[in-house]
Structure 1
Amino acid sequence: MLAASAYFYMSWSQAFGLMLFAMIGLNWLLGQKIEHDRRRFWLILGCVMNLGLLAYFKYMNFFLENIETIVKLGNPDFQSSSLSIILPLGISFYVFELISYQVDVYQGKIKHEKNPVVFAIFVLFFPHLIAGPICRAGQFMPQIHILQKPDSARFYNGLYMFIAGLALKSGVADGLAPFVNVIFKSPADYSGFDNLMACVGFGIQILCDFWGYSLMALGAALLFGYILPYNFNQPYAALSIKDFWRRWHITLSNWLRDYLYIALGGSRTNAGWKIQRNLALTMLLGGLWHGASWNFIIWGGIHGGALAINRWFDTANIPHTFKVILRWPPLAWALTMTVVFVAWIYFRAASFSDAILMIEKIITPSDQWSSTKLAPLFFELLLLYLPIQWIVHKTTYNFDISGLALWKPAFIFAALTIFTFIYYVDGNDFIYFQF
């Protein structure tokens, strides 16, 4: 497994593969030092080393661009040169896994892994290496110590999860992508309705893209006998922003909660404003984690602000009738999805001005607002998404499909396979590969 995972990564870049092996070795040695010494210094050193690597590759040019913008206010002729930096594949994910390992060892939640091969497999395991799920050492490492024998139920579920993930990614997400891309590229050329549909389309695209990848990762891992954590639980059924983040990118949400929000103080304070501050800062940094762009920071800020308001609403002395009205499921769902999908505009738009333009087009009435240039295929995929996501969720989330009568999974398997072949679109990378 170690050799296969190493080959998988180094087939993309040998140089970055060697860098990753060096990081694994250094973190393994630091984990040993942290367990034996228990000094906070070693933990801080490890976090600085890992985050420093991430900061250089992911944020250095963003930092230089903003410095140039500030200096140009006083010196318009100033020009700074950007660095030619390639972002190592999966760096955001494996850096978070390495940090969580060191923190867990420091806090005594797990023991340092004495076998460097087991530690290397934990980081390099190819199904989750590129885009998660973000695994915890305490959950995954014990499985590596066990000889995984052939198991027909796990193999059957793994194969089904992989096909289900492929249907979400190659059928729904990639099918919607061309329509979404062309509108986000030039929102001024499209009506308010088309801009709204692009926003809805991207929300579904990114869910099916990343949920599809996560299911394929879980499925591939199960084929080898390993169980990875679930990453999605019908996030668009959420009735609050807090509920949304319990359902969306679950492993990232849990990581931000356990290693950032709690480190900032979490809810361990009587001052309500400090809790709101911690929520806002956590999501701002979570937005920045997604990419070196002010749009990602705004996306994180929207969610951070919404989470702070959500918590204030739950704890504030507000008239009971008002709370009952806002918690009425249809209204609560509509308010939550409005926040989520408006935030997606900033996440996807090429620039801040494009995001503002798209929102203006959506909310501004005009004679041409309801006209559309979208092909029927786009709306066809939106309608097909509803039953497909329901079936996939029901048959993959905490569910053993091998327990069904043979004809049921065979029928679902065949339907998803046929759907994938009919609507398959080639040429779209996984969205989270860029993070």
Structure 2
Amino acid sequence: MLFNSIDFALFLPLVFGGYWLLSSRSLWVQNFFILLVSYLFYGWWDWRFLSLIVFSSLVDFSIGKRMGQTRDQAVRKRWLYLSLAINLGLLGFFKYYNFFVEEFIGAFHRIGVTLEPNTLNIILPVGISFYTFQTLSYTIDVYRGKLEPTRDWLAFFAYVSFFPQLVAGPIERSTRLLPQFQQQRTFNYEQARDGMRQILWGLFKKIVIADSCAVVVNDIFANYETAGTGTLILGAVLFAFQIYGDFSGYSDIAIGTARLFGFDLMRNFAYPYFSRNVAEFWRRWHISLSTWFRDYVYIPLGGSRVESRWILIRNVFIVFLVSGFWHGANWTFIVWGALHACFFLPLILLNNNRSYLDIVARDRFLPTAADLGRMLFTFALVCIGWVFFRAENLQHALDYLAQMVENPELNLAVLRKHLILIAGVAIFIGVEWLQRRRRHAFEFSENRVPAWARAGIYLVTALCILLLAPRQETPFIYFQF
């Protein structure tokens, strides 16, 4: 079920009403209702894959209990390894089996040995990368002693399958979200109202910004061979806003929806295109994933507190390559991760990776010239990476970048053709800049923005969504991951 679908527009108010009508009964009823509607939400796509969520939930719930029954670290570690093997095994099979088989056959073909392909017609279960990492955070945190294993199977199963963030995050930690399922929720009007505002802003980002950019981006990337530099730069920049509007829009809708039901999900995006270097970008982009890799991969490897610079370089490359590979079974994602490792490495080697911990121009209306230059340079580096992320394969990405250099043509006609879209993106950037101190762009100060102005903004936004919505429902980009 897509957030931007008629199905969800009917599903959400029915679930919201049913949930709060039953909320006074008991915590068990609340969690059972959440579990039931979450399975319905996921099963709407393909009910057969519900068995994977149930199996993953059962495995990690049982392993958590087993680890809680012993103080023997060797035994606990074996249970942890079993959890890692099962979860990563399932993820690897569904997501990477065909990739490794094809690469294996290709390697032998290059030395003159022909092997018969033995790939399978495997359907990638939607959201498997997200809920797998969510369940793994539980067993790892139980093993580390950060969390007591729960005996409440219903709360745990609801935590794993919670429908707002099940398919594309945020990837919630068990230490943060699971306790929220272990205490009864009460309706909070202010929390629900803010949730509705964030849902509206998320739908705007997805439907008005991302889906509008996608039409132009698809055309430019499909016909790049005859395009000039200006057109190709436009394609890369618009894809940057397509993927940002698409993915952060999903996160906004997920966080807002969760707030309707009394839950607080972690922030997943914090205006990343206002970053002054790549390290700051990764503190603001897909925060739930970047912090997951930091805490469960980078720091266990030694992080930056290692004596050898070679080990530090190794750690940086491992975490970025794994992050790239997490996104999909394609060399383009691995190169995308490697590029960001190269962008990040000089910062950490020079101890500049934590230079910008606060929002840019916090006490100013406009950034300084130096900060503006840093933001534009960082955005340019990110856009180069996005070309690899968007391309069908490595050759497509390399040819796209080569054509950008070899055909230095501005082509003002293309810019004029898409002037309305460019202006719309510029206005979107302006709104986010004005609201960069807030959790989301529709979090207004009631003292500074009167009620009539806020109502007008919401009405205009809703009209834009209705008028610019594509005829067919468009899936979110991160559904494929």
Which TM-score bucket, shorter chain as reference?
A: over 0.9
Match of 2:250 in 1: 213
Residue 418 of structure 1: which of 457, 463, 470 is its match? Answer: 463
Residue 57 of structure 1: which of 79, 89, 94 is its match? Answer: 94
Are 2:334 and 1:334 aligned?
no
Amino acid corresponding to residue 30 of structure 1 in structure 2: I
Match of 2:427 in 1: 384
Match of 2:10 in 1: none
Are 2:69 and 1:36 aligned?
yes
Are 2:49 and 1:8 aligned?
no
Residue 18 of structure 1: which of 28, 51, 62 is its match? Answer: 51
1:279-428 maps to which residues of 2 (within 5 A)?
279-314=316-351, 328-366=370-408, 368-373=409-414, 375-376=417-418, 377-390=420-433, 393=436, 396-397=439-440, 401=444, 403=446, 405-425=450-470, 426-428=472-474
Q: Is the 8 A contact 1:158 1:218 kept in 2?
A: yes
Cα distance in 2 between the residues matched to 1:90 and 1:434: 8
Bigger shift: residues 18-27 or 369-378: 369-378
Residue 231 of structure 1: which of 254, 260, 268 is its match? Answer: 268
Bigger shift: residues 421-430 or 368-377: 368-377
Q: What secondary structure does 1:429 align onto?
A: coil
Amino acid corresponding to residue 193 of structure 1 in structure 2: G
Are 2:430 and 1:430 aligned?
no
Q: Is the 8 A contact 2:197 2:443 kept in 1?
A: no
Amino acid corresponding to residue 464 of structure 2 in structure 1: F
Are 2:139 and 1:102 aligned?
yes
Cα distance in 2 between the residues matched to 1:42 and 1:403: 52
Cα distance in 1 between the residues matched to 2:446 and 2:181: 26
Superimposed CA distance per residue, residues 75-116 of structure 1 (whole angstroms, 9 cap, x where no aligned partner): 364331321100011000011111111111011111111100
Q: Is the 8 A contact 2:332 2:393 kept in 1?
A: yes
Give the fraction of aligned pairs with identical amino acids, expressed as a percent.
33
Bigger shift: residues 65-74 or 289-298: 65-74
Q: CA deviation at 1:400?
A: 5.5
Cα distance in 2 between the residues matched to 1:339 and 1:278: 21
How many residue pairs get matched?
424
Q: Is the 8 A contact 1:179 1:378 kept in 2?
A: no
Amino acid corresponding to residue 477 of structure 2 in structure 1: I
Give me the TM-score of the superposition, normalised by structure 1.
Answer: 0.92
Superimposed CA distance per residue, residues 254-279 of structure 1 (whole angstroms, 9 cap, x where no aligned partner): 10100010122212312122112101
Are 2:292 and 1:255 aligned?
yes
Q: What secondary structure does 2:350 align onto?
A: helix
Superimposed CA distance per residue, residues 32-52 of structure 1 (whole angstroms, 9 cap, x where no aligned partner): 112223421111111111111
Bigger shift: residues 80-89 or 403-412: 403-412
Q: CA deviation at 1:401?
A: 4.4
Q: CA deviation at 1:363?
A: 2.3
Cα pair distance change 1:150/1:114, threshold 3 Å = same
Q: CA deviation at 1:395?
A: 5.2
Q: Runs in 1 of length 4+ with deviation above 6 angstroms?
A: none
Q: CA deviation at 1:394?
A: 5.3
Cα distance in 1 between the residues matched to 2:379 and 2:221: 20
Cα distance in 1 between the residues matched to 2:441 and 2:150: 29
Q: CA deviation at 1:17?
A: 0.2
Cα distance in 1 between the residues matched to 2:51 and 2:439: 36
Superimposed CA distance per residue, residues 183-228 of structure 1 (whole angstroms, 9 cap, x where no aligned partner): 1123103222111100000001100111110000011101111110
Match of 1:90 in 2: 127
Amino acid corresponding to residue 112 of structure 1 in structure 2: P
Give me the TM-score of the superposition, normalised by structure 2.
Answer: 0.84
Q: Is the 8 A contact 1:194 1:372 kept in 2?
A: no
Q: What secondary structure does 1:419 align onto?
A: helix
Cα pair distance change 1:379/1:397, threshold 3 Å = closer
Cα distance in 2 between the residues matched to 1:273 and 1:51: 28
Q: Is the 8 A contact 1:184 1:350 kept in 2?
A: no
